[in-house]
A and B are shown apart, each in its own frame.
Chain A
Amino acid sequence: METILSAEKLNLYYSDNHALKDITLPVPKGQVTALIGPSGCGKSTFLKTLNRMNDLVDGVRVAGLVTLDGEDIYAPDYDVVGLRKRVGMVFQKPNPFPMSIFDNVAYGPRIHGQRDKKALREIVESSLKGAALWDEVKDRLNKSALSLSGGQQQRLCIARVLAVGPEVLLMDEPTSALDPISTQRIEDLIEELKGRYTIVIVTHNMQQAGRISDRTAFFYRGDLIEWGETDTLFQTPADKRTEDYITGRFG
């Protein structure tokens, strides 16, 4: 099994708050890794360290190592823009830009220098197809993205990430703002995407983690309690706290 992303002895502080403590977690290539745990356990924070979105927060200090294909992504001369191109992110709430569907998907490629109209159209089409949205929007690519339903908006955001050609997709509770039917479609989509992409997903929904992930990591109060094969972790958790959480006894 090949590891693409990996954290070693990762610590993170928000000014005085020690938010992540000595996290060591390899992310296997082409698989879906689910991060679970009660609110405030650090799973979203951890997710954001993987493409350095924490850079946007003032007063954050990171100690330890995060590597992508063996390269330290926190090295001073590391190319953050290139990192975010390779490690895309889907947020909790769909956040389409207030522009047309087409422009939303083309936004990323345009940033990275793609100017050719024909190439852009192809990228947009293949990305929307990849996000299982093409059939629904192909006739109204010039309509505002804000006219889409919540579930469609979230798939658009996934398409927008795919258009940049990432290797890893980080998903921060991508279905928590959606209705059950839209959630189902996103889960199907994740199922389709896996293999081609490495996916790390934060979720509050135990069943979701069980359904879609190959591996699961359980976070609790900034510690990584345990991680492993999803089936193993759910059926025979090693730690009492993991068992309490997945059987719904706290959090």
Chain B
Amino acid sequence: MKARKVTDGLVKVFVWLCAGITAALLIWILVYIMSRGLPHVTWEYLTSKFGGDDHGIYPMIVSTLCLVGLTLLFAAPVGVFAAVYLVEYAKPGKLVNVIRFATECLSGIPSILFGLFGFIFFVQICNFKFSLLSGALTLALMVLPTIIRTTEEVLKTVPVSYKEGSLALGANKLYTLFRITLPSALPGVLTALILSIGRIVGETAAVFLTAGMVYRVPKSIFSSGRTLAVHLYAIANEGFSFDECFATAAVLVVLVLLINFAADLAGKLLIRRLGGGQPN
């Protein structure tokens, strides 16, 4: 009996320890990166160019934003519409299973292979060269599963009563979809897009093989551009100026924090919108 209590205690200590390691890791990374990076994140650092005497990240910020926008432009409609098809139109069967399996596969492919494919297909075969366009098309494929699956989950939570009410008034399915279902699910769709933004901002392997590493402000979608994450890799590889690296890393971590926070906020908004519909 006593022995059992001892093993019981030991097991619990072990479990606590493992959870502690996880928490400690997060705190360690955050504190380490922030404390060494944030002091170097100055206004000048954020707004000046890179190269020569300049060591700013302004061009990288612009490239990152352009890449995010362009990627979502491609991926958002396709992803949302695909989810609409799967939830609102598709009958369960072989086709849906194949689509699900393909989406799973897509989400399982590592980013370096997306990069490799983008390099072969968009950069070389389509001849878009190293450009924001090649990068965005590649990343669009990469974030597609995230958008599809998150939107699917949200569409499923839209109360059937909303749809019934609309159909009973004589609205057709399409009108109901665009006036009732999608607007109700909007914060959730937003969450899906925000999560995708997180992946795009943090992505390196798929980006530098398709959008290149040129550290100038991109002139058009056919220019190469260096995102913040690629920038961190590039200057870390050069092996000098730790301060700059830490500053870029800190900017990335702050971005991730903001993105997570925004996703949470959108999630809460969704709960309020869909939960509030029922009076009891």
Contacts and interface: CB of A to CB of B under 8 A. Distances in A.
Interface of A: 51, 53, 56, 58, 81-85, 88-89, 91, 93-99, 107-108, 111-112, 146, 149-150, 153, 157, 160-161, 164, 177
A242 B279 CA distance: 34
A100 B101 CA distance: 40
Nearest to B168: A89
A157 to B, nearest CB: 7
Given A53-B164, A93-B278, A153-B279, A98 B183 contact: yes
Nearest to A90: B168
Interface string B137-164: 0000000000000000000000101101
B24 interface: no
B232 interface: no
A90 to B, nearest CB: 8
A98 B273 contact: yes
Contacts of A153: 279
B161 A84 contact: no
Nearest to A55: B167
A97 B164 CA distance: 11
Instruction: Indicate the member of A85, A98, A160, A164 with the most B CB atoms within 10 Å.
Output: A98
Given A95-B161, A98-B183, A107 B277 contact: no
Given A95-B162, A97-B162, A108 B169 contact: yes
Given A53-B164, A97-B165, A108 B276 contact: no
Contacts of A108: 169-171
B165 A81 contact: no
27 contacts: A51-B168, A53-B167, A58-B91, A81-B170, A83-B170, A84-B168, A84-B169, A85-B169, A88-B169, A91-B164, A93-B278, A95-B162, A95-B164, A95-B165, A96-B277, A97-B165, A97-B184, A98-B273, A98-B277, A107-B169, A107-B179, A108-B169, A112-B170, A146-B277, A149-B279, A153-B279, A177-B280
B103 interface: no
Q: Is the interface on chain B under 10, 10 to 19, 20 to 34, or 35 or more residues? A: 20 to 34
A160 B279 contact: no
Nearest to B176: A111
A161 B169 contact: yes
A39 B165 CA distance: 22
B252 interface: no
A6 B218 CA distance: 70
A115 to B, nearest CB: 14
9 closest A-B pairs by beta carbon, nearest first, are A150-B279, A95-B161, A84-B170, A89-B168, A108-B169, A95-B165, A85-B170, A146-B276, A81-B170
Contacts of A56: 164, 167
A51 B169 CA distance: 10
A56 B176 CA distance: 13
Instruction: Indicate the member of A53, A83, A85, A111 with the most B CB atoms within 10 Å.
Output: A111
A230 to B, nearest CB: 26
Contacts of B180: 97
Contacts of B168: 51, 53, 84, 88-89, 91, 161
Contacts of A112: 170
B166 interface: yes
A15 to B, nearest CB: 14
Contacts of A146: 276-277
B88 to A, nearest CB: 11
B85 interface: no
B212 to A, nearest CB: 45
A94 B164 CA distance: 11
A93 B161 contact: yes
Nearest to B175: A111
A170 B184 CA distance: 26
B183 A84 contact: no
A143 to B, nearest CB: 13
A96 B169 CA distance: 12
Interface string B97-127: 0000000000000000000000000000000
B174 to A, nearest CB: 11
A79 to B, nearest CB: 10
Contact of A94 (B166, B171, B279): B279
A81 B279 contact: no
B220 interface: no
A112 B166 CA distance: 12
